[in-house]
Structures are given as structure tokens and as C-alpha cells.
Structure 1
Amino acid sequence: MSRYQSRFQSRFQSREHAGTELASALRAYRGTGALVLALPCGGVPVGRVVADALGADFDLVMARRIAAGVALDDTGKTWRTNEADAPSAAGGLRGIHFDQLCRQRAVYTPVRKPADPAGRVVIVVDDGLVSGATMYAALARLRKRRPARLICAVPIASRAGLDQVRALADEVLCLDTPDHIESLAHYYCEFQLVSDDRVRALTGMASAQAPGPARPGMVDSVPSLTQAMLIPCRTTPLRAMLESAPNPVGVAVMVHAGGAQRRAARSHYLARKLRTRGFATMLVDLQPDRRVDDALASEVDELAEKLAQTLSFLRTSTPFANLPAGLFSAGTAAAAALRVAADHPSQTGAVACVAGRIDLTGSAFLQRLDTPTLLMCASGNPQSTRLHHHACAQMHCPRQLSFVKASGCGFDDRHALEEVATLTADWFEQYLVNPSRPSLDEVAAR
């Protein structure tokens, strides 16, 4: 185990996962007409999940830290925690930060007034507290607007940070309180920056834009979605992250096995690219407790069983039940994906594998595979190239072998990832949105 992993154990898979756990702890407020207010930007994915789970209204509360223990609210007032030094250089930065707050408000909610907290149960959410200054400013501002009950709810916080805000809230709820926090990122497996576009989408502004033309295969009534879910699987549930723009044309079930910390940025980049092409995405790590990069060859059967359970869950417990599904896999999980596709051909309309351990699939599975399959291999890896050619020769299904310019098998280069995303989206559009079964094999080299 690395020094990084031995010092910090990730408490949450993602902000959405943290929101799911926080919503469970706040379930007493379900159906009470509560107002959930999130601090941009990191608190927005957490707050969106909480609001949806509680059936609550959702909006933003604007505040910004400008120095240690000092933060601004959206009126430009400066608030200091008890630990803030009296003399501070923050005064000279106040104007710059207030301009930034005003810009954020204009970008995030340009056409509507902020929700009124007066007389309501108000739950203020962020992705965590370190010093507590930003939450302190938000609570202090909201307290003046006379909510019926003011609640501070965060997944993780330092004890010192919580102490700063207790006097301002009627209730403080925190799932984990380490004595000291160097960075919130240490407590999340996935901790990407939250973009302005993401905030707009989660606060409902994206859906306010004029809808584009209907696309072939588009399924009505599937709303915009960001949701963390748990898939029952033996004794340890699998975490799944579901995301979609409104009315997707299909769902890409993206699976890998272990190494989540290394794979996170790549997986989320590819998922975003697929969503821009109209697909919903479902990200699942089939070996969430494995810290190394991939599962062992001896674990392919176990991975296939978990993947089959994932597909069953997709069909019975998600809004994507009626969408055509494609499997997108990497590493040892690719062998599991091909086995599942061979055993359950009605469950998947297409398969795409990148840098997959295709050699672990087994000849019997490859030969009876009927699902259209895209294999992507790094052009700079001769051993992988030979394995993919050998596997492709054993298949009788519609198939394509594409070579992507990349060094090794990592596919960490942005240009290589863009090509992988384009190849996968094109394949899924061909076989999920407009399914066909050409009689001739399709083998291409790029």
C-alpha cells in the first residue's frame, strides 16, 4: 500500500455518494417542505442528491472564503470566525472576491430570484468543512432572514470547523469528524473540480434552455439525472454513479475492476464525452476494495457474476430500465463483459473494450459471442496487438478492432482518450440507436 493510501482512507466514493449518505441521515425531514441550499461549487452535487431524496426545494447560498477564518456573504458583508486574526489583509481582497460572488450568481441563476428561507426548514449543505469560514458566513446571512429551523449538514468536517458554526445553527449534522483535515480530497475517491456548467445543470438552468431536435431512439420522460446508488451484491454492495441529460438514447454501463483512484479522471472524462452524444452513463467499480490497478485473472468469473447483477439492477431499479444498454469496459473487466454478453445476449446491444484483457475471456465465449463488439488497443503495445488480433479472429459477431495511437496501455493521453470516446460513441450509435447486424465482419485498423 502506498504512503498516500496508508495515511488517508477515502470515506466517500464521490460527492454524490456523500449526498446519498447525508440524505439518509436527514430522512426525518423528508416531505416537510424543506429548502436545501448548497454552497458552490463542491456542495452543489451533494445538495442536489439530498434535495431529491428529501423531496425538497433546491437552490444555492452564496458565500466565499477570502482568508483564514474570513468569508463574504452575497451582500458583501465580511464575517469572521472566532479563530480569525483581528488584523487581516482580507480587506484589500474583499472587492475582488465580492465581484466573483456576483459573477457566480449571474452565471448560475441568471433569470430567477433566490429562494426565500423565511419561515422554512433550511438545510445548508457543502462537501465538507475545513476551517468553517464559508459555512459560517452562509449561516450568519441566513440567520438574519428568519428561517423556522436552520440546519448545517456536511459529509465530513474538522472538529475545529464544526465548533465555529455550532452557535449559528439549530442543528449540525456531520457524518465524519477527523481531528484535522489537510484537504477534503483525501476523503473522496473521486474529487474533481465542479465546473460552472455542472452547477448550472444541477440547479436546473440547463433544462431551461430551448430543447434541441428529437433524435432517433430518444426515450421521453427520462429526466436529467445525477444519482449515486448501491447495487446489492453478496455481502458488499457495489457503488454505481448514474448520470444523464434529459431523454437519453441509450445507456453506457462503464465498468472496471479496482484502481479507482488512478482511473477516476479518465472514467469521468469518457463518461462526459458519451453524455454529450446523448447517452446516459452508469459507472461501476466491480472491485471497489482493490487498491491495485486491476483484478487478477482468477477473478474473471467473480467479475462476470457482479456485472450480471449490475445489469439486472439496471433493468429493475433505475430510470434507465427501458433504454438499450452498451457495455464499456477496461482491463480484466473487459473479459468479464464479453463473457456476460455471450451468456446474456438480450441484456446488451453492444460492447466496447479499451486496453482489455481479451485473452482472459476464453475461446468458448468468444466463439459464441453474438453482440457487436468494438476492441480498442494501443498501437504502441505489440503484445496487446497480438492478443487482440487473436481474439478478433475467434469471434463471429459484428466486430471492429481499432488501434489508437498511445504509448503502453494507459490511454492517459488526452488525444488518445478523445479517440476512444469517439470510437465508442460511434459504435453505440450504430448498434444501440440504429441497431443492425451486418453479415460481414468489420475489422479496421487505425
Structure 2
Amino acid sequence: MAFEHRERIAGLTESSVHIPVAGAARLDADLVKPAHAGSIVAFAHGTGSSRHSPRNRAVARVLQQAGLGTLLLDLLTEREERVDEATAEYRFDLQLLGRRIIAAIDWLNEHPQTAGLPLGLFGASTGAAAALIAAAERPDRVTAVVSRGGRPDLAAEHLSRVRAPVLLIVGGRDPQVLQLNRQAAEQLSAPHHLEIIPGATHLFAENHALEQVALKARDWFLAPGQSNSPDQGGSRTLP
């Protein structure tokens, strides 16, 4: 990975938390909150990943340095992860994953450290679809959504109900996902922008590509629906 910011952040509190979900299960998560955080961003990882995703953690660090709180969570329980590794039966269950993000949203709304804070969602790959499903189901709570190399097309039936501004970030050398994002953008009625990172492939492993993602995401969460980036052939429907 090309970069990771590790500067110490004054007043940062970090804690391991557990989010209850249906069936008496719970999800493991890491909550990081800078002092006087103005909002919180929940991360939805992609297929086969977890809250330990180094890419999401690098992005989260940039958000924390900007004064945003972050919640990185596992979307599956330990038992489900073991089953999924063998059968892959959960990783494309978008309704289940969407419900897990909704559970995290509701938990954040009640947790003493985060209750009442504006909430953003950052989704990668299939996690982006889960985030968009949750945004559609909790329109009064979600204030912004960012998708990194996402599959918003997998949430097609929910896209028209998303009210939060949506930033779709796709690598310029990821043509199939780029086309799927363009098609999904046409179904969004909320303010949205398709940001293309030139030269980047699906995992944004190229030099400085992930850093660009982090900075674009930071700016979007700080000012939802506002983008100073020139249109690069993608969708641009902003207020």
C-alpha cells in the first residue's frame, strides 16, 4: 500500500465495541473518536475483508486527522466468517449486510459518545451496496455516502430512495466497475458525483491512488454534496 498516515492525533479515544444484531449475535467493531468530533463515519468492507482492512484503516486515519470519528466493523460474526470462507454464502447476501449496517447506525445513534452526531457511510466493493441499502432505510440519519471501487448496482432497487449525497470513486483502469457505477448513478435521485482516479485499478494499489481516495472522501464527508473536482467523464449531479 502506497501510504498510511500515522501521526498522533491529540485527544483521540479508541475502543473496541460490540454491536448487537438479530439472533442474539454481535459484531466486533473499532470506534475511534477525536476530541470534539463533528461527525462519525461507519465503514462497510468488501467481499472477504474485515474491520482490519489496511486500505479502509488508511482512509479512516485521514478522516480522523480531519476531526471525523470512525467505526470500522465486521459485517459477519466469527461463526459466519468461518462458514463464508468455506462456502461464500454470506458475502453476497446484500440484504443481510445492509441490515448489519442499519444495526450499526442505530447503535451509533444510541451510544453516548456518538449519539446525535451526523453520520456518513464509507463502503468498499460489495460493502458500498450494503451502505447504500442502509442509507435508503435510514434517510434521516445518514448525511453522506462514499463508495470506493463499489458495486452500487447490487443495491439497484434501493438507489432511488437514497437521500444523502453520494460520491462514487472508481479507478480509471477498472472499466467494468466504472460502467456499473455509471449505470447506478443514473438511478440516484440524490446529489451525486462520479470521481474517476486516473491510472488506478480496482484496489487502488497504485502509487498515491488510495491517498487520493482518502482525500476525496474526507472532503465529501466534511461538505456533503460539494465537489471541486473537474468532471472526468462521469456523472455529476450536484446541488
TM-score range (shorter-chain normalised) is 0.7 to 0.9
CA distance, structure 2, for counterparts of residue 367 and residue 249 of structure 1: 28
5 Å matches for 1:260-275? 260=49, 264-275=53-64
1:352 aligned partner, one-letter code: V
Greater RCO (CA < 8 Å, at least 6 residues apart): 2
Shift of residue 329, structure 1, vs aligned partner: 0.6
Matched residue of 2:186: which SS?
helix
- Asked if the contact 1:259/1:294 (under 8 Å) is kept, the reply is no
Cα deviation code 1:119-151 (max 9, x no counterpart): xxxxxxxxxxxxxxxxxxxxxxxxxxxxxxxxx
CA distance, structure 2, for counterparts of residue 325 and residue 347 of structure 1: 6
CA distance, structure 2, for counterparts of residue 336 and residue 261 of structure 1: 14
Cα deviation code 1:150-178 (max 9, x no counterpart): xxxxxxxxxxxxxxxxxxxxxxxxxxxxx
C-alpha change, 1:263 and 1:407, in structure 2 (3 Å) is farther
Shift of residue 264, structure 1, vs aligned partner: 2.1
2:120 aligned partner, one-letter code: G
C-alpha change, 1:360 and 1:280, in structure 2 (3 Å) is same
| Structure 1 residues without counterparts, runs of 5 or longer | 1-194, 208-223, 432-436
Shift of residue 257, structure 1, vs aligned partner: 4.5
Task: Give the aligned partner of residue 225 of structure 1.
Answer: 13
| Structure 2 residues without counterparts, runs of 5 or longer | 1-5, 234-239
TM-score w.r.t. length of structure 1: 0.46
- Asked if the contact 2:47/2:91 (under 8 Å) is kept, the reply is no
1:246 aligned partner, one-letter code: A
- Asked if the contact 1:257/1:287 (under 8 Å) is kept, the reply is no
The CA RMSD over aligned residues, in Å, is 2.7
Shift of residue 295, structure 1, vs aligned partner: 5.3
Q: Are 1:444 and 2:231 counterparts?
A: yes
1:404 aligned partner, one-letter code: I
Shift of residue 414, structure 1, vs aligned partner: 4.6
Matched residue of 2:141: which SS?
coil
- Asked if the contact 1:257/1:286 (under 8 Å) is kept, the reply is no
5 Å matches for 1:13-412? 198=8, 206-207=10-11, 224-233=12-21, 234-260=23-49, 264-288=53-77, 289=81, 290-291=84-85, 296-297=91-92, 299-362=93-156, 364-412=157-205
Q: Size of the alignment, in residue pairs? A: 220
1:228 aligned partner, one-letter code: S
TM-score w.r.t. length of structure 2: 0.82
Task: Give the aligned partner of residue 69 of structure 1.
Answer: none
CA distance, structure 2, for counterparts of residue 405 and residue 352 of structure 1: 18
CA distance, structure 2, for counterparts of residue 357 and residue 387 of structure 1: 7
